Amino acid sequence: MVEGRSKSGVKCRYHNCRFVHLPFWGDEILIDTGDFGIHDGISEVIFTTLSKDGKPNAAPIGLHKKEERLFAMIYNSRTLENILGRPAAAANIVDDPVLFVQSSLCDLEPERFEYVDGFPVLKDALGWILFDCRCKKGEKISLVELSPVDGKINQRKIQPVNRGFNAVIESSIHATRYVVFKEKKYLDSIEYYNTIVKKCGGAREKEAMGMLYKLIGITE
């Protein structure tokens, strides 16, 4: 095992991972994001961050991977504020639709977090990757370049694709936009995806959609 300190001051621990080269950073590091199911495209994860006063936050984020470059496009939010104050974030890989909805629309209870060298990750995550962050601040949305420094896989699961689960994720995205913009088109999208949840989802997906409607103040 190799230990060191990341740019954010978080201790790094590397366990039997092969090298990955990130062109943006020009450094070789020891985290293979493919082991965590992060491949080219956009993966929906839950970012955990830490405020200057030590309060954890969790919010869904689209994690972009293009070749070996990792980045996120983050709107002005508590997540971005925390990253600007402390340039680190953890991508939590989660398969619970209720947890996605909760982290999208409300604050998670403190007991949902655990800490690795003082940094918050989700107890119920299948795995997590800790990143150093480099932010290019924009007026409304910022580019955050990500360099993995540590990671842990808690569970390896064989899980088929469930359209209901995917529909909950899409609904969560539209719900966050509805909360901000109050535009009917987002409600229309939520209604469409809810028909998929009703048809294809299990009990957990249906519970998540019920919670989503309640949190945005709309009758299902």
* Stretch 66-81: mean pLDDT: 96
**For 116-158, how does the pLDDT look when each residue is reduced to its tens digit (9 = 90+)?**
999 999 999 999 999 999 999 999 999 999 999 999 999 998 8
Give domain 2-96+103-153's CATH superfamily: Electron Transport, Fmn-binding Protein; Chain A (2.30.110.10)
* Percent of residues, the chain, with pLDDT higher than 90: 82
Same fold, 2-96+103-153 and 163-214: no
Per-residue pLDDT, 179: 95
Q: How confident is the model at residue 5 (pLDDT cuts 50, 70, 90)?
A: very low
Task: Locate the domains of the chain by residue range.
Answer: 2-96+103-153, 163-214
Q: What's the gap between Cα 30 and its chain centre?
A: 21
Instruction: Provide CB contacts within 8 A for 75, sequence distance 6+.
Output: 140, 141, 142
Q: Which residues are paired to 29 by β-bridges?
A: 20
Query: pTM, whole model, 2 decimals?
Result: 0.86
3-state helix, strand, coil in the chain (%, to 5): 35, 35, 30
Q: pLDDT tens digits for 168-187? A: 999 999 999 999 999 999 99
191: region left, alpha or beta (phi > 0 left; psi from -120 to 50 alpha): alpha
Q: Residue 144 pairs with which residues in a beta bridge?
A: 72, 135
DSSP 142-189: EEEEEEEEEEEE---------HHHHHHHHHHHHHHHHHHH--HHHHHH
For residue 17, is pLDDT > 50? no
- State the architecture of 163-214 in CATH terms: Up-down Bundle (1.20)
